């Protein structure tokens, strides 16, 4: 059986179930308690589990990330929440240089089963320092598992798996999608990390997209009634499920990669590079990439709309695979 849940409610339900299931799990971050998180994702959890397991912290991102590493090495499973994904830079030494390297530099003697949990993405006019999609940042650092949740179903199942995983996992939910709704099973479930999913089957072109860009890609595909578009959500960018994407490209011969990161040194280019390198002769033409313009995300809503990939831009990129110019 399924029911309709909002994306943010699916996140809160995952946290609730994991706190109830495993006493080594706890949640810590700024305003996760009485305030309930910026988007209501932790609402009522402190009242239910107490201040030891749902802990408000000082405004110190490096402290939030650093304490989580110590707790994880000591045998707990912390979920460390940052108010915005952009703030992984504020906790830079911990997120880039300590957490992902701890299992390696200890020769495997120390595990770091922690989840770094944060809202990412643009679309609500939060300004340049609060609107970035940063999964490419951590995807570039060996040691992190990097998860992007696209639907309420994804958000719940992937977050539960992230909390249970013995590796450091960065779980990014998209702030613009928090009020969107989707079907979520009544029964217990998890989703495997490192596996992409074909959300919409098609025969003519493969489109890889996640989070807000996935929804825009689906809308673009619906507008192109003469083109059969296969839409794949990678779910995780590290590790990237090249096999699922590759099987689709083998069938369609065409690839468009859409992501809410800048094109400059972006996720899009990495996905294309992996596919072209491994199965060049499956392509009927050059792949296409769509991403954020190479500028900071503007605060102004019209300018923000201008730099984010639109449904029309994605549709144009799909058409270009068939020799139709922009």
Active site residues: 130
CB 172 within 8 A of CB 95: no
Instruction: Please state, in angstroms and rounded to a whole number, the distance separating the CA atoms of residues 326 and 129.
Output: 32
Evaluate whether 158 touches 212 at the Cβ level (below 8 Å).
no
* Rounded CA separation 206/122 (Å): 25
Which is nearest to 257 in space by CA: 269, 248, 247, 249?
269
Phi, psi for residue 118 in degrees, rounded to 5: -160, 150
Closest CA to 289 of 265, 306, 305: 265
Distance, CA of 306 to CA of 123 (rounded, Å): 11
d(CA 285, CA 322): 9
Which of 189, 160, 158 shows the shortest CA–CA distance to 174?
Answer: 158
- Cα–Cα–Cα angle for 101, 116, 112, nearest 5°? 40
Alpha-carbon gap, residue 19 to 54, rounded angstroms? 9
Residue-by-residue DSSP string for 159-209: HHHHHH-SS-EEEEEEGGGTT-EEEEESS-----TT--EEEE--SSEEEE-
């Amino acid at each position: 059986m399924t029911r309709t849940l909002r994306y943010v409610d699916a996140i809160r339900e995952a946290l609730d179930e994991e706190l109830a299931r495993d006493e080594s799990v706890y949640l810590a971050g700024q305003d996760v308690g009485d305030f309930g998180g910026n988007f209501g994702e932790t609402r009522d959890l402190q009242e239910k589990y107490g201040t030891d397991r749902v802990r408000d912290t000082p405004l110190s991102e490096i402290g939030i990330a650093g304490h989580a590493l110590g707790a994880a090495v000591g045998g707990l499973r912390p979920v460390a929440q940052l108010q915005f994904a952009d703030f992984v830079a504020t906790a830079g030494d911990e997120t880039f240089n300590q957490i992902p390297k701890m299992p390696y530099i200890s020769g495997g003697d120390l595990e770091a089963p922690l989840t770094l949990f944060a809202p990412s993405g643009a679309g609500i006019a939060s300004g340049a320092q609060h609107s970035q999609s940063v999964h490419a940042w951590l995807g570039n650092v060996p040691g992190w598992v990097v998860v992007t949740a696209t639907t309420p179903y994804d958000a719940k199942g992937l977050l539960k798996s992230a909390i249970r995983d013995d590796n450091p996992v960065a779980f990014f939910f998209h702030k613009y999608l928090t009020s969107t709704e989707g079907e979520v099973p009544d029964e217990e479930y998890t989703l495997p990390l490192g596996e992409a999913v074909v959300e919409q089957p098609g025969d003519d072109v493969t489109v890889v997209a996640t989070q807000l860009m996935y929804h825009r890609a689906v809308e673009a595909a619906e507008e192109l009634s003469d083109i059969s578009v296969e839409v794949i959500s990678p779910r995780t960018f590290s590790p990237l499920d090249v096999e699922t994407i590759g099987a689709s490209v083998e069938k369609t011969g065409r690839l468009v990669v859409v992501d809410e990161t800048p094109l400059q040194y972006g996720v899009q280019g990495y996905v294309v590079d992996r596919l072209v390198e491994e199965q060049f002769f499956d392509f009927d033409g050059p792949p296409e990439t769509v991403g954020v313009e190479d500028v900071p995300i503007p605060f102004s809503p019209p300018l923000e709309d201008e730099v984010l990939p639109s449904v029309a831009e994605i549709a144009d990129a799909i058409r270009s695979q068939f020799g139709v110019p922009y």
